[in-house]
Chains A and B, each alone.
Chain A
Amino acid sequence: MPAATESVAVGMPVEVGDIPRELKKLNAEDSGRTRASLINLAVYSEAPDSLGKNTAIISEITEDHACRAIVIAAAPTAKESRVEAWISAHCHVSRAGSKQVCSEQLSFSIEGERCGLLPNIVFAQLDSDLPLYLWWQEEFRAPMDPQLWAWVDRVIYDSQTWRDFDEQMQLVETAQQEARQRIVLCDLNWIRLVQLRLAVAQFFDHRAAHHHLEEIKTVAIEHAPGFRSTALLLVGWLAAQLGWERDRGNRRSLGFRRKREEDDDWQITISLREKEGEPVNSCEMKTDKAGFKIVHKPGADLLGVSFGRIEGRHMDQVLPAGKNAPVALVQEELRRGGPHNVYLRAVAQVRDLL
């Protein structure tokens, strides 16, 4: 891709060694601007057109989350070895409306053998003392560079695009161990479920509704093609949090059981169905006496939520649905944070099925 075209989208071309000086000049251009940064957000992609796309994404993210963005477009298989760099600033009017708040973006196109210099490039450009979030848009490949991972505080990925969940997870876990620090794993496939999980959870906030949790007998989830893993994470979450045990008789089985003190094991039937639409079109849970349903109509930004007793009162509600776009998912992750321990427990329940 010609550098001239890229520079329009990603900013001013600079020599890699001149970046600090050029950034200083950029910031000094307009005294009415305020530079802000709460994190270093490094984005790594090997897609051919990623630089422009990720620049657009960063522009949106920085509206709510001031950061120093380091956008890397890598082409490890390119014959030629080279590194090109650009700098730019994403400026937005602050909430108070009184000033322009700017986040810096450093963009790199790295080709051929120079891709091995990734940690070197990233480390040199970090805004000191701020945490490093690494958004890895590719599948992970062995060997994982321990030098890079030792610096990462949160790694963001989307397991929905992974071909082999277990293999990828093993790589991440290895990197985590070698890094000798707690890297928080932020799976956008899990973030995709936040609003749905909130909608499910709120059914059972009142203590008088807690008993329903112990009486769930069926869970039916309808998901879009390609989002079976999203639906499985939802099942994993319910199982992990409600103490269900996998029926391991059949390795690919989706059966769960719940141990109850007062009677025999309680079987829970899970059914997943594929249908065009949103990642999770609907989730319905039933006990013998009540039903809980969440519907996400295609394209809607609200969830239709209903609870009803069999032959009894019905209640409806609308709740925010969240969006499936990468920028919305990353914004949600940045807004919520947290250690994602529940995610790890959910994964453990269904890892072999993912």
Chain B
Amino acid sequence: MSDKQLPNPLREGLSSKAVPQPCAIVIFGATGDLTHRKLIPALYNIAADGEMPPAVAVIGFARRPKTDEEFRAEMAEATRNFSRQTVRDEVWQHFAQSLFYHQSEFADEEGYRKLAERLDRLDQESGTRGNRLFYFAASPEQFETIVENLNKAGLNKAREGSWARVILEKPFGTDLASARHLNQIVQRSFKEDQTYRIDHFLGKETAQNILVLRFANAIFEPLWNTRYIDHVQITAAETLGVENRAGYYEGAGALRDMVQNHLLQLFCLVGMEPPTDLGADSIRDEKVKVVRSLRPFSQDEVGTFVVRGQYAAGAINGQPVTAYREEKGVDPKSQTETFVALRMLVDNWRWSEVPIYVRVGKRLPKSGTEISIHFKKAPSVLFNRESQAIEQNVLVIRIQPDEGISLRMQAKVPGTSFRIESVKMDFHYGTSFGKASPEAYERLLLDAMAGDATLFARRDEVEQAWAFVDTIEEAWAEKENAPKLCTYPAGSWGPEEADELMARDKRSWRRL
């Protein structure tokens, strides 16, 4: 019988979401950056907020020799550096008792057998009840080895009444073929309902609020279609360059790094039909229909509707910065794009012929991620005659930073003349709600412990997104007639060709 059929009567009125269950969390890649910066600080914050189930054990799995105490000391320092709230000794001491280190090579079968024994002991000692959450914070090349060894040790299967789940960090492959391969590997041992593909954008408060904005307010949904929407823009701008990720970024580029996952996921939330309920699969069923409806590009169309760029030397905030090709670890002849702008169409009833413009780039003048819905202009009569054409209404959903929503509309400028100007109604999360939101990883870890996969990507979503992105990558990879890689000075809003992409449609990018 599922937990949903047997709710805890004492939770009524106290919790509005699924409650996380006792479990052992095994982190593969426990000495890596993600564990230090995100995972352990997130788990500590969950504990400090009183959201942690009564019995949780966190086992760091990595190859470097280390004792539990050494691991705890390292994690204490990492948490002090990266936690969103100040670390309290009393809470940390208690939390640290549930941290353990398991030393093993990823390829060492014996290491997994010993892990299984250790998890069984922890079930007895800590009350983790046979529930296992395996977090793959290692590089994707290690996934196959880890999954196979988990399988051999029998750790992919839970005892009766318990569960085993796996959380996968992006990238989920580098193209459709590798994503399918990865999914096949994982699903040889874990079923889809055991698999949680993390996209931290979906854990952000504003991303979750898109559904609330659309489906808890009656005023937007009637306008949310081709009849009233002129176009949609999605922007993810960063002032940062490639930093210390050149090794990964050189092989990925902006399209794979941001568009295939984060930005398509965000667009799915904007573009989906109302789900039948708020269940994980109901929502994901609707999201995947959006990706499936994206009109694929032919090779010629990639040159017309997709712009790729790479930053040259320039300046950010008045400070000179080097070109991408001069960054440490980057091939001096690199063809990797650090900027992408594309115009997509969605072939379904709601979005027919509504262009969706997406741009993402590094070393742009300002950091910010937002979605803007540009409504059609008012009829060209009364206040909107050719001679005094007025602006469109624009609804902006700011994902980060300064999360919030704004609506641009027209108002009469006070005075005896009849002048109309655009004004902005602005809602800021930070202004209206003083309390800090939990980090995306906190929400997502809690959801995984509770078995709620709503904010995780499903296999078909990931594969459909790759299928769409692959047509672009393939065109770029052509030896002859490949669309050119444009350059743009660091600190600009990308190559001129990106502006031309909009200008052809008599539109322009929104000013952030």
Spell out A's residues near B (CB within 8 Å): 34, 36, 38, 62-66, 92, 94-96, 98-99, 101, 194-195, 197-208, 210, 213, 237-238, 241-242, 302, 305, 307, 313, 315-320, 335, 338-343
Contact = CB atoms under 8 A, between A and B. Distances in A.
A253 to B, nearest CB: 24
Given A38-B432, A96-B401, 20 more contacts: A38-B433, A66-B433, A66-B434, A95-B429, A197-B10, A198-B14, A199-B50, A201-B8, A202-B53, A205-B53, A206-B21, A208-B129, A208-B161, A213-B9, A302-B90, A315-B54, A317-B54, A319-B50, A320-B49, A340-B13
B435 interface: yes
Contacts, number: 111
B382 interface: no
B434 A305 contact: no
A198 B50 contact: yes
Contacts of B3: 207
A101 B14 CA distance: 30
A341 B14 CA distance: 11
B246 interface: no
Interface in B423-438: 428-436
Nearest to B437: A95
A141 to B, nearest CB: 30
A314 to B, nearest CB: 10
Interface stretch (B58-66, B120-128, B342-350): B120-128
B94 interface: yes
Interface of B: 1, 3, 6, 8-15, 19, 21-22, 48-50, 52-55, 90-91, 94, 124-127, 129, 161, 401-402, 428-436
Contact of B10 (A204, A339, A343): A204
Given A305-B54, A313-B124, A99 B431 contact: yes
Contacts of B430: 94-96, 101
A315 B55 contact: yes
A199 B126 CA distance: 18
Contacts of B429: 95
Contacts of A38: 432-433
Contacts of A210: 6, 8
A202 B125 contact: no
B50 A320 contact: yes
Contacts of A36: 431-432
Contact of A315 (B11, B126, B402): B126
5 contacts: A96-B402, A194-B14, A195-B50, A205-B19, A213-B9
Contact of B11 (A34, A101, A201, A238): A201
B10 A241 contact: yes
Contacts of A62: 434
Contacts of B126: 315
Q: Which of A66, A92, A94, A206 has the most CB of B within 10 A?
A: A206
B436 A95 contact: yes
Contacts of A318: 90-91, 94
Contact of A317 (B8, B21, B94): B94
A185 to B, nearest CB: 13
A326 B129 CA distance: 40
B12 A342 contact: yes
B74 to A, nearest CB: 22
A313 B127 contact: yes
Given A194-B14, A201-B14, A340-B13, A66 B6 contact: no
B8 A64 contact: no
Given A313-B124, A318-B94, A64 B54 contact: no
